[in-house]
A = this chain, B = another copy of it.
């Protein structure tokens, strides 16, 4: 077991952060196409759940890495947006995805967290787990921009 403690002051600039995140997520048509659902919205942390479907698979029947990248990237983007000031929007600068194990199983969750919220750039990290949540299957490190 590895315990990583990152101590940082999380400043909430927008008391309506949850409504802002949920409204933006609802406008991401691609999330609905994937069947992805927003399951947790907290300051600096957002979770997105997904069920395996045949039409989301790669050549071996596992969920496609691109699907994992999409929900991990969105989880990061919304974790970043949750700490931005009112009226701000979030833009992905870049992300890096490491695939750790085949995406076996039926239920997946992507957990995105802010690593450091800067004025212009926010660094975020996300992990994808199978529903049981024991072993990560993918991890993502991203830079998001405040617009």
Q: Chain B nearest CB: distance from A109 CB in Å?
A: 14
User: Which partner residue on chain B sits nearest A57 by CB separation?
Assistant: B29
Copies of the protein in its oligomer: 4
CB pair B73 A70 closer than 8 Å: no
User: Which partner residue on chain B sits nearest A111 by CB separation?
Assistant: B4
A135 at the interface (CB under 8 A from B): yes
Query: A interface, how many residues as a size bin?
Result: 35 or more
Q: Collect the chain B residues with CB atoms within 8 Å of residue A95's CB.
A: 65, 69, 96-97
Q: Collect the chain B residues with CB atoms within 8 Å of residue A7's CB.
A: 1-2, 134-135
Q: Collect the chain B residues with CB atoms within 8 Å of residue A28's CB.
A: 57-59, 64
Complex Cα gap A47–B3 (Å): 15
